[in-house]
Structure 1
Amino acid sequence: MTDALAIKGLAVVFDDFRAVDGVSFSVREGESFGLVGESGSGKSTVLRAVAGLAPIADGTISIGGETISHARSKSFYRRVQMVFQDPYGSLHPRHTIDRALAEPLAVHGIGDAERRILKALDEVGLGKGFRFRYPHQLSGGQRQRVAIARALILEPSILLLDEPTSALDASVQAEVLNLLEDIRRERGLTYVLVSHDLAVVTHMCERLLVMQHGRPVELLTSADLAARRIETAYTRELMVASEGFRREA
C-alpha cells in the first residue's frame, strides 16, 4: 500500500538556525500519526513544511507516492488541509462563519456552496443557526469546530492538526478530540497530529514520533508507550512531565 504521506530527511532552516534536522517518517492511509516533544522541538515546523508554510532546506515530502514541489498547487490543498492551534487567530474577526466556509470553495471554484456549508456545520456539531454569526459570538470550542469545518469543506484526504485543543478549556478538549476521531473514522481520513501532551497523542494516534531540538528521538506505537516499552531517557522524561497520562494497554 502506498503511504498517504512520506517524509525523508526533512530539514528546515531559518537564517542559520536548523529548526528541523533529518526528520523521516511515513503515515499510512487512514492512520492517525502523532508528533510529540517539548516546545521548540520542531514538531509544528514539520507540519508547516508539509503545508508549504516553512522553507524546506533539504529532504523530500511525498503525498500518495508523489513527491511534491516546493510550490504547492491548488490540487495539493484539495488533498491536504491544516487546522491551527489558535481558534481565535485563525478566523477573520469581521467575516461571518458563512463567509469563512464559502471562501475556500470560491478559491477552488467549487459550486454547491449552500449544501456544502450546511453539511460542514452539521458534521462538526454546529447547526445552521451558527452560519451568519461572527467569531466573537462563539466560544473557543465552537470556533475550533468552525476551523475544522473549514478544513473539511474541500473534502481533503489528509488533515494536519497543530495542537488543535491546547488553547481550549480542559472540559472542551475531549469533545473536540472525540469529534476529530469520529470524523476520521467516518471519512477514512489520515491525520498528522502535533501535541506536547502524550495523553492526547496516545488517545488519538496509533504511532508517534518523539522529537527534540528538531531531530527525531524515538518512533513508538501507542501500545509501546502504554506498556512503557521506551528506549530513550528523553521520552521517559516527557512521559513523567505529561500530567495525568493514562492509557489502557
Structure 2
Amino acid sequence: MTTAVSVQGLTVTYDDFKALDAVGVDVAAGESFGLVGESGSGKSTLLRAVAGLAPVTEGTIRVENRQLQGARRDKAFYRSVQMVFQDPYGSLHPRQTVDRQLLEPLAIHGVGDGERRILKALDEVGLGSGFRFRYPHQLSGGQRQRIAIARALILEPSILLLDEPTSALDASVQAEVLNLLEQVRRDRKLTFIMVSHDLGVVTHMCDRLAVMRGGRVVERLSSADLVAGRIGEDYTRNLMVASKGFRRG
C-alpha cells in the first residue's frame, strides 16, 4: 500500500501556544481520511501545515515520498495537492468571473488547454458552461463551493485537502456537495484528507479517521468501528453524542 501523506512528530507553535503537539498520521494513496475533534483540537491546523499555511516547529511531512521543508511549497506540490476551504463566500474573488478564477491556476502553472479544462471542470462539478461568466454574488452557496472544487480540480491533483467543505451550506446542499466529492474521488482515484466536526459526514465520506484533542491524536479508528461503537476513548464517544445528525448503523 503506497503512502500518499505521512506526518510524523509534527509540532506547530504560535508564540507559547502549541496548536499541534507531536502529531503523526499516515494516509494511503486513494484513501479518504478524516480528522475530527472539537473546535481548537488542531485538526484544521494539521491540514494547513500540510498545505504550507501553518509554521512547523518540529517534525516531518512527506507527500508522495517527497519530504516538505518549512512552509515553502513549490509549484510541483500545488500541481499534486489542492485545498478546498470551508467558506465558499470568502474563497472566491468577488470581482472576478468564474472563468477568470478557473484560468488563474492554469496561468500560474503555465498549463495550456484552458478552454477544454474549464469546460471539463465545470461539467465535473455539475455546472454548465453558462456559469463561466458569472460573478460569485450571482451564485448560491452550493454553486460557489462547486466552483471552488472545480478550481481545485483543474490542475488535476492527486490529493485534495478539505477543510469542513460543507459546514457553511444548508443541509440539503451539503449532501449534494458531499456526493459530488465522493463521485470525483472515485472517478479520479484521489486521496482525500477531510476535516470535519460532524461525525456523520466523516463516516459517510472517510475510510479511517484520527480523533484530535488539544493538538494531539487521541484515537485512530475506522469508520466501521465508529459506527459499530468499537471506540476506546470517552472523548470520542462524547463527540459522537454531540455530533448533530450522527446515526448508528
Alignment map for 1:22-171 (pairs within 5 Å): 22-70=22-70, 71-171=72-172
SS of 1:56 mapped into structure 2: coil
Q: Which whole-Å CA distance do the structure 1 matches of 2:27 and 2:97 have between them?
A: 35
Counterpart residue identity of residue 83, structure 2: M
SS of 1:109 mapped into structure 2: coil
- The residue aligned with 2:229 is 228
SS of 2:230 mapped into structure 1: coil
Deviations 1:130-180 (A, max 9, x none): 000000000000000000000000000000000000000011000000000
The answer to whether residue 31 in structure 2 is matched with residue 17 in structure 1 is: no
In 2, are the aligned partners of 1:8 and 1:59 still within 8 Å (CA)?
yes
Return the offset for 1:247: 4.5
Q: Which whole-Å CA distance do the structure 1 matches of 2:2 and 2:246 have between them?
A: 33
- The residue aligned with 1:205 is 206
In 2, are the aligned partners of 1:5 and 1:26 still within 8 Å (CA)?
yes
In 2, are the aligned partners of 1:202 and 1:247 still within 8 Å (CA)?
no
SS of 1:129 mapped into structure 2: helix
- The residue aligned with 1:193 is 194
Q: Which whole-Å CA distance do the structure 2 matches of 1:239 and 1:91 have between them?
A: 33
* Matched-pair identity in %: 74
TM-score, normalising length: structure 1: 0.98
Return the offset for 1:246: 1.6
Q: Which whole-Å CA distance do the structure 1 matches of 2:113 and 2:159 have between them?
A: 22
Q: Which whole-Å CA distance do the structure 2 matches of 1:243 and 1:209 have between them?
A: 19
Return the offset for 1:116: 0.5
SS of 1:4 mapped into structure 2: strand
Return the offset for 1:244: 2.0
- The residue aligned with 1:214 is 215
Return the offset for 1:31: 0.3
SS of 2:245 mapped into structure 1: coil
In 1, are the aligned partners of 2:228 and 2:248 still within 8 Å (CA)?
no
Question: Which structure 2 residue ranges, 5 or more long, are not aligned?
Answer: none
- The residue aligned with 1:4 is 4
Answer with 135-144 or 239-248: which moved more. Answer: 239-248
SS of 2:88 mapped into structure 1: coil
Answer with 63-72 or 108-117: which moved more. Answer: 63-72
Deviations 1:171-209 (A, max 9, x none): 100000000000000000000000000000000000000
In 1, are the aligned partners of 2:87 and 2:165 still within 8 Å (CA)?
yes
Deviations 1:11-57 (A, max 9, x none): 11111111011110111110000000011111000010000000000
CA RMSD of aligned residues (A): 0.7
Answer with 96-105 or 15-24: which moved more. Answer: 15-24
Return the offset for 1:2: 2.6
In 1, are the aligned partners of 2:162 and 2:195 still within 8 Å (CA)?
yes
Q: Which whole-Å CA distance do the structure 2 matches of 1:32 and 1:241 have between them?
A: 23
Runs of 4+ residues over 6 Å off in structure 1: none
In 2, are the aligned partners of 1:41 and 1:215 still within 8 Å (CA)?
yes
Q: Which whole-Å CA distance do the structure 2 matches of 1:107 and 1:66 have between them?
A: 22
